[in-house]
Structure 1
Amino acid sequence: MKQSHARAGLFVLLFGLLLSLPLLGHITKDSGYYGFKTDLPVPGLPGYQAGDEQLRLVFFGYQNCGTVCPLQLTNLLDLHQRLESDAVRFVFVTLDPERDSQQSLDATMAALGENFRAVRPATQAQAQRLAMGFSEYAGKTGAGENYDFDHSARIYAVTPDNRRHLLYASPELDLDRVQADIQKLLGQS
């Protein structure tokens, strides 16, 4: 019994370490950015039609979320208004394709602004794999129809070559500094 608890504890510790690896570079040196500076490949977004954007701000969430998703979408809406003249797209990836229809997602994105797009993986398992490719934690909690998702609610700055350059780990953002980061990153593209 003790041995199985020790293995489970070790697994949780290793999983947490794996999720924190993208942050280690930012913690150990000053990148000159407010967000966590990285340069890591991420998977492409299935069904996403790239345009002429130089940068995508990607957020994983779900429409029935009553906590962090509305806060992050408000942050993205504010950034959309601030970055209107820049080549930035805002991409919402649902973690809950079982309840979030593409039609409903598209209507929500259209209401937010012309540079908002939604990605709906075919299954919840595919959504989970896609989130993991971004180092996003997402776990379904509850059973039956009354389930939710625990997720990290990060915003990722991704270039057209599918490389993640910045991540914002909290919905409590200094949007002036995020805007400066994005404009600095765009100037380097």
Structure 2
Amino acid sequence: MKARTVLVLTVVVILGVAGVYLGVQWADANYEYQGSLIEPAMPAFPIALAESDGELFSLQAHQGKVVMLYFGYTNCPDLCPATLSDFKKIHDSLGERADEIEFVMVTIDPERDTLEKTAQYVSAFDSSFIGLSASETDLQDIWDGYFVFRAKSGADSAAGYLMDHTTRTYVIDKQGNLRLTYPFGIEYQAMLLDVEHLLDE
């Protein structure tokens, strides 16, 4: 009798564990991303640029983390600071898990944005944010690799000129694959949901 009871309990436990596992797998398979999903996922175009502290930033070296990538410039009056403010909200919402994600801005205006200026600009939003700049020659392949549009627009009395540019945010998963993009204006909570899902993969 005892053996039968133990057997029944064992079967119940196994079925329970299996049910939880299958439930998680089902939820994962049926998750609907808030951003534009890249299917099939493709390796992110390589980025390898010096940081302001002299260290080399390499996407490959950051595999194991999620990377949120934006292309902007320090004289941007509106879209860039708004995007970086959303990055800050996502960073703070993640709490201790914020260490599992990198927030990166690559300049589209190297004529004015030195490496130091770009790094200082993004660090004003959060000290962990990474700002990258280099020569136009070094950056051109990266812009092309992410299909980034950039062009000078009319002169502005304060900034000298403005830049028209791609305003999408790119998300690279822990395996180094480009997984998602977001248009400017999407709520940060939507991006946060996707990032949390990618962190749990």
Q: Given the two structures, how large is their TM-score scaled by the length of structure 2?
A: 0.68
The alignment partner of 1:146 has SS state of coil
Offset of 1:174 from its aligned partner?
Answer: 2.0
Offset of 1:79 from its aligned partner?
Answer: 1.1
Separation of aligned partners in 2, 1:160 and 1:120: 24
CA RMSD in angstroms comes to 2.4
Query: What number of residue pairs does the alignment pair up?
Result: 156
Q: Could you say which residue in structure 2 is the equivalent of 1:174?
A: 187
Q: Could you say which residue in structure 2 is the equivalent of 1:136?
A: 148
The answer to whether the 8 A contact 2:63-2:175 is kept is: no
Deviations for 1:40-81, whole angstroms, at most 9, x for unmatched residues?
Answer: 233222222545751110000001111311111111111111
Shift of the 149–159 alpha-carbon distance from structure 1 to 2, 3 Å rule, reads same
Shift of the 60–80 alpha-carbon distance from structure 1 to 2, 3 Å rule, reads same
For 1:118, which of 114, 128, 131 is the aligned residue?
131
For 1:146, which of 160, 166, 172 is the aligned residue?
160
The answer to whether the 8 A contact 2:65-2:101 is kept is: yes
For 1:109, which of 122, 127, 136 is the aligned residue?
122
Matched, 1:77 2:91: no
Separation of aligned partners in 1, 2:64 and 2:33: 21
Q: Could you say which residue in structure 2 is the equivalent of 1:92?
A: 105
2:182 aligned partner, one-letter code: Y
**Higher gyration radius (CA):** 2
Offset of 1:117 from its aligned partner?
Answer: 0.4
Q: Could you say which residue in structure 1 is the equivalent of 2:53?
A: none
Separation of aligned partners in 2, 1:52 and 1:130: 18
Separation of aligned partners in 1, 2:140 and 2:151: 8
2:118 aligned partner, one-letter code: L
Separation of aligned partners in 2, 1:160 and 1:138: 28
Separation of aligned partners in 2, 1:160 and 1:137: 26
Q: Could you say which residue in structure 1 is the equivalent of 2:37?
A: 37
The answer to whether the 8 A contact 1:35-1:178 is kept is: yes
2:105 aligned partner, one-letter code: F
Separation of aligned partners in 1, 2:168 and 2:92: 20
The alignment partner of 1:84 has SS state of helix
2:69 aligned partner, one-letter code: V
The runs of at least 4 consecutive aligned structure 1 residues that moved more than 6 Å come to: none
2:144 aligned partner, one-letter code: M
The answer to whether the 8 A contact 1:46-1:121 is kept is: no
1:41 aligned partner, one-letter code: P
List runs of 5+ in structure 1 lacking aligned partners: 1-29
Q: Could you say which residue in structure 1 is the equivalent of 2:5?
A: none
Matched, 1:58 2:100: no
2:91 aligned partner, one-letter code: H
